[in-house]
Amino acid sequence: MPILILPLLSRDVDSLDHPAAAEYRKMLEEGAKAYGGQLTTFAIDHGVIACGLTSDEMVRDMLADMAAQGISVDVVPDKEAFGKEARKILDERRRRG
């Protein structure tokens, strides 16, 4: 199951308790449910969201939507790879601002 790295929120959103993070998490949970799947991973670091979803169809649709909006999304193949790559990806996203 892939983990999507989404640079969607402002840099000051750096806590799962932040209202913007909570709202986005709820949206992902509801979307996953609508696709017959689940949100399995949700983390945030300076506005960059990492999320894992069990619905391949939802992941494909999200990637297509982000591409149409010109938003660059990193995809990590699984939780093990995410653990290895997360810091590097998040640091790069923060540098890009």
pLDDT tens digits for 25-77?
999 999 999 999 999 999 998 899 999 999 999 999 999 999 999 998 888 87
SS3 11: coil
For the beta carbon of residue 25, count every other beta carbon within 10 angstroms. Answer: 17
The DSSP output letter for 74 is E
Residue 69, C-beta contacts closer than 8 angstroms, at least 6 positions apart: none
The band of 97, judged by pLDDT with boundaries at 50, 70 and 90, is low
CATH number at residue 70: 3.30.70
Q: Which pLDDT belongs to residue 83? A: 72
- Give, as one character, the DSSP assignment of residue 46: T
pTM: 0.80
Number of domains in the chain: 1
Compute the average pLDDT of residues 66-89.
Answer: 80
Q: Which helix (H) or strand (E) holds 5?
A: strand 3-7
Q: Give the span between the Cα atoms of 69 and 92, in whole angstroms.
A: 20
| Domain range enclosing 16 | 3-96
